[in-house]
């Protein structure tokens, strides 16, 4: 793995049925270079999170791995995604991590980055944004979390089915970021570098439309972990978007 003070990942979608990804994640944390001071998970660490009270071996494995980093002196940051927005302060504390709100402004040397999960930039996906507004409402979340776990699980299953059906009928462009939303964010935040996940379209985009000065604005998109892993490494002005094959199980 690259030596860098800041490492970022997203969209691992960890789930009991994919122990290969969980292994790759644990392995990644163990191999994180000693030079890494800040480790960011920009959402969708889990395929589904039904509340901090939903105990599982997977939750234990993840909190152990992140807790191990925290004990090494790494600052661990967790951001919500559209699957694990119910991750709470209790679970973050178990991981020795800080839950952060998006957009999160990060100073890497003299360079300012704006970190997001990425879903809010998909402004053409109005049906999704309505769903998001509902489930991000604190009153809705209190009510949802007060239901028994079996009921929460059933609602999540219905929502997953509805989402699968909805996404199958949506044009691919609708589920990508809206360029005007990106340019507006650059303008209002003053950050000329944006980094996010969610779309599963890993890439480095230069944005000359945002103006040439002092450097072209840039949008870095992390990839999801499925058949390979992805991370970004930031070091001063420099950044790299990297992918790697999962280690074969030993």
Q: Give contact residues for Mn ion (rule: CB under 5 A).
A: 44, 81-82, 198
**Can residue 48 be called a binding residue for ligand LP5 (CB under 6 A)?**
yes
- Residue in 10, 22, 63, 82 binding ligand LP5, rule: CB under 6 A: 82
Which among Mn ion, ligand LP5, none contacts residue 44 (Cβ within 5 to 8 A by kind)? Answer: Mn ion
Give the nearest distance from C-beta 216 to ligand LP5 in angstroms: 26
Give the nearest distance from C-beta 27 to ligand LP5 in angstroms: 25
- Residue 163: phi and psi, rounded to 5, are -70, -45
Dihedral angle, C-alpha 89, 90, 92, 94, nearest 10 °? 160
Give CA 181 to chain center in angstroms. 19
**Can residue 244 be called a binding residue for ligand LP5 (CB under 6 A)?**
no
**Can residue 116 be called a binding residue for ligand LP5 (CB under 6 A)?**
no
**Can residue 187 be called a binding residue for ligand LP5 (CB under 6 A)?**
no
**Can residue 47 be called a binding residue for ligand LP5 (CB under 6 A)?**
no
HSE (CB half, 13 Å, CA atoms) of 120?
Answer: 17
**Can residue 175 be called a binding residue for ligand LP5 (CB under 6 A)?**
yes
Give the nearest distance from C-beta 48 to ligand LP5 in angstroms: 6
**Non-local CB neighbours of 111 within 8 Å, separated by 6+ positions:** 193, 234, 236, 237
Q: Are 42 and 115 within 8 A, CB to CB?
A: yes
For residues 41 and 77, give the distance between their C-alpha atoms in angstroms, rounded to a whole number. Answer: 6
Stretch that binds ligand LP5, among 21-29, 165-173, 202-210, 223-231 (CB under 6 A): 165-173
Cβ nearer to ligand LP5, comparing 106 with 222 = 222
| Interface with ligand LP5: number of residues (CB under 6 A) | 23
Q: Where are the beta strands (DSSP E) in the chain?
A: 6-9, 38-42, 75-79, 97-100, 104-108, 111-115, 193-196, 203-207, 217-221, 228-235, 238-245
Q: Quick one: 129 exposed, middle or buried, by C-beta within 10 A (0-12, 13-18, 19+)?
A: middle
For residues 190 and 111, give the distance between their C-alpha atoms in angstroms, rounded to a whole number. Answer: 11
**Can residue 106 be called a binding residue for ligand LP5 (CB under 6 A)?**
no
Cβ nearer to ligand LP5, comparing 63 with 82 = 82
Q: Which two tokens stand for residue 98?
A: 């800080």
**Can residue 92 be called a binding residue for ligand LP5 (CB under 6 A)?**
no
- Residue in 100, 145, 159, 207 binding ligand LP5, rule: CB under 6 A: 159
For residues 11 and 41, give the distance between their C-alpha atoms in angstroms, rounded to a whole number. Answer: 8
Which among Mn ion, ligand LP5, none contacts residue 81 (Cβ within 5 to 8 A by kind)? Answer: Mn ion
Which residues in this chain contact ligand LP5 in the complex, by CB under 6 A? 48, 82-83, 86, 119, 122, 125, 127-128, 131, 135, 155-156, 158-160, 162-164, 166-167, 170, 175
């Amino acid at each position: 793995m690259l030596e860098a003070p800041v490492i970022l990942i997203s969209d691992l979608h960890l789930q009991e049925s994919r122990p290969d990804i969980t292994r790759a994640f644990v392995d990644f944390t163990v191999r994180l270079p000693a030079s890494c001071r800040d480790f960011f998970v920009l959402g969708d660490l889990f395929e589904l999170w039904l509340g901090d009270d939903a105990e599982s071996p997977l939750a234990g494995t993840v909190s152990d791995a992140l807790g191990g980093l925290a004990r090494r002196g790494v600052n661990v940051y967790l951001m919500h995604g559209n699957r694990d927005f119910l991750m709470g302060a209790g679970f973050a504390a178990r991981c020795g991590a800080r839950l952060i709100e998006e957009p999160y402004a990060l100073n890497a040397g003299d360079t300012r980055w704006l970190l997001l999960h990425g879903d809010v930039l998909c402004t053409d996906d109005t049906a999704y944004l309505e769903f998001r507004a509902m489930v991000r409402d604190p009153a809705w979340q209190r009510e949802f979390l007060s239901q028994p776990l079996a009921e929460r699980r059933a609602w999540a299953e219905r929502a997953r089915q509805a989402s699968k059906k909805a996404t199958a009928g949506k044009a691919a462009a609708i589920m990508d970021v809206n360029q005007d939303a990106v340019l507006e964010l650059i303008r209002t935040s003053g950050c000329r570098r944006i980094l996010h996940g969610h779309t599963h379209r890993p890439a480095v985009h230069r944005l000359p439309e945002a103006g040439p000065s002092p450097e072209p604005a840039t949008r870095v998109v992390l990839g999801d972990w499925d058949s390979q892993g992805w991370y970004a490494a930031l070091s001063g002005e420099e950044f790299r978007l990297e992918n790697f094959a999962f280690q074969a199980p030993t």
